[in-house]
Amino acid sequence: MKPRSIFAAATAAALFLPVAASAADKVKAGILKMSALTNLWVAKQAGIFEKNGLDVELVEFRNGNEAIAAHRGGSVDFVLSIPGTAMIAQERGFDLMLLTQNETAKASGPDAGSIMVLASSSYKSLADLAGKRVAVSALHTQMTVSVQTAFAKAGVDPSKLQLMELPFPTMGDALKAGQIDAAAHLDPWVTQLQTTGVARNVSWLYVDAVPEQPIGAWYATSAYVGKNRDITLRYVKSIQESIDYMLADEARARKNVAAFTGLDPKLTETMPINKWDWRINLDRWQATIDMMQKAGELQKPAKAEQYLSDISRQFVVK
């Protein structure tokens, strides 16, 4: 089945009711300035939200942890999180309801997540970075656990790494200044650092940890969904339509990534395009959960089905 067919079959007419253009509902959604969230920006720019009767304000955050905290405080209605980080929050009592997946890692590199070193450095592999300073955007996240898992698979004891928290935009300067030895980075910064000759990849961190792991999904509180189910369903519909829109034309998608991130359009012509996918593969979710539990970030073993809601359960595929 094609993605559109799955969505159409899973969401009967009773779920998505027609909404008059004049009755747009105002909502707030958290956004990070990275290529993976271009589809959210496109949903607004291309009128997808408007078509579905929504007036969406995009609220920018520096990282996923900050976004979840703001979401809990009511600053935004919908938040994108890497699923492992949301699972940690859920285990600690946060009310987070999975609505739809947004992105996964690829089966093999190049991919969106990279462990980078200075191009001029002597480091050739993860093994060379044993005991070195590695920048991560935040501790205790799925991305950081993926970094640790990739190192462990390369024979490096992750407990010996010197993990340092730095915002993504500052990692390149920290590398150049010699303040860190490696950076766990995302596009568009990966592409910028590679094409300018500043840094190079030594590991596609998500792929090397758990290939095709989910790395982006949309959440709302169950309380919000209970009061605003129709709005929520139209938001989910818009996100999935924006993903279909991005996947329908790769050249157009690359131009949109450049427009959203501010990256030189020439650079996006060669950067690895994100793997947007709203369909949920439970096997890859389970492998991610197991990775998080093995690392000690999740305190109890869990099954992927536990994290599904009645909304997201519709989008599970074999």
Q: Which CATH number fits the domain that encloses residue 163?
A: 3.40.190.10
Contact in structure between 19 and 50 (CB atoms under 8 Å): no
Based on the fold, state whether residues 302 and 261 are members of the same structural domain: yes
pLDDT reported for residue 6: 37
Domain with 136, as residue range(s), is 113-209
Based on the fold, state whether residues 129 and 74 are members of the same structural domain: no
Query: Is residue 18 classed as helix, strand or coil in its secondary structure?
Result: coil
Closest to 62 (Cα-Cα) out of 186, 199, 221: 186
Based on the fold, state whether residues 220 and 83 are members of the same structural domain: yes
**CA pair distance 97, 312, nearest whole angstrom:** 9
Q: Pick the residue with more confidence: 311 or 66?
A: 311
Task: Please report the sign of the dihedral spanned by the C-alpha atoms of residue 93, residue 94, residue 100, residue 103.
Answer: negative
272 preceded by a cis bond (ω within 30 of 0): no
Residue-level length of the chain: 318
Based on the fold, state whether residues 87 and 145 are members of the same structural domain: no
Count of beta carbons in the 10 Å neighbourhood of residue 310: 8
Based on the fold, state whether residues 23 and 87 are members of the same structural domain: yes
Based on the fold, state whether residues 199 and 218 are members of the same structural domain: no
pLDDT reported for residue 3: 40
Tokens for 229, please give them: 């189910």
Contact in structure between 89 and 153 (CB atoms under 8 Å): no
User: Among 38-47, 58-67, 98-107, which stretch is predicted with the lowest mean pLDDT?
Assistant: 58-67
Based on the fold, state whether residues 64 and 126 are members of the same structural domain: no
pLDDT reported for residue 234: 98
**Percent residues over pLDDT 70 in the chain:** 92
Q: Is 210 exposed, middle or buried (0-12, 13-18, 19+ CB in 10 A)?
A: buried
Count up the domains in the chain and report the number. 2
Residue 293 predicted with pLDDT over 90: yes
Tokens for 180, please give them: 């860190």
Contact in structure between 210 and 70 (CB atoms under 8 Å): no
Using 50, 70 and 90 to split pLDDT, how confident is the model at 292? very high
**CA pair distance 299, 276, nearest whole angstrom:** 29
Residue 14 predicted with pLDDT over 80: no
Based on the fold, state whether residues 228 and 279 are members of the same structural domain: yes
Based on the fold, state whether residues 121 and 263 are members of the same structural domain: no
Residue 274 gets which letter from DSSP? P
Helical residues (DSSP H) of 183-281, grouped into ranges: 189-195, 205-209, 222-227, 229-248, 250-261, 265-268
Type of residue found at 317: V
Residue recorded with tokens 């950081």: 144
pLDDT reported for residue 271: 87
Tell me which of 154, 189, 209 is where a domain ends. Answer: 209
Based on the fold, state whether residues 90 and 228 are members of the same structural domain: yes
Based on the fold, state whether residues 192 and 247 are members of the same structural domain: no
pLDDT reported for residue 163: 97
Tell me which of 209, 230, 257 is where a domain ends. Answer: 209
Based on the fold, state whether residues 15 and 97 are members of the same structural domain: yes
pLDDT reported for residue 72: 80
**CA pair distance 312, 278, nearest whole angstrom:** 9
As a whole number, mean pLDDT of residues 241-263 equals 95
**CA pair distance 150, 233, nearest whole angstrom:** 37
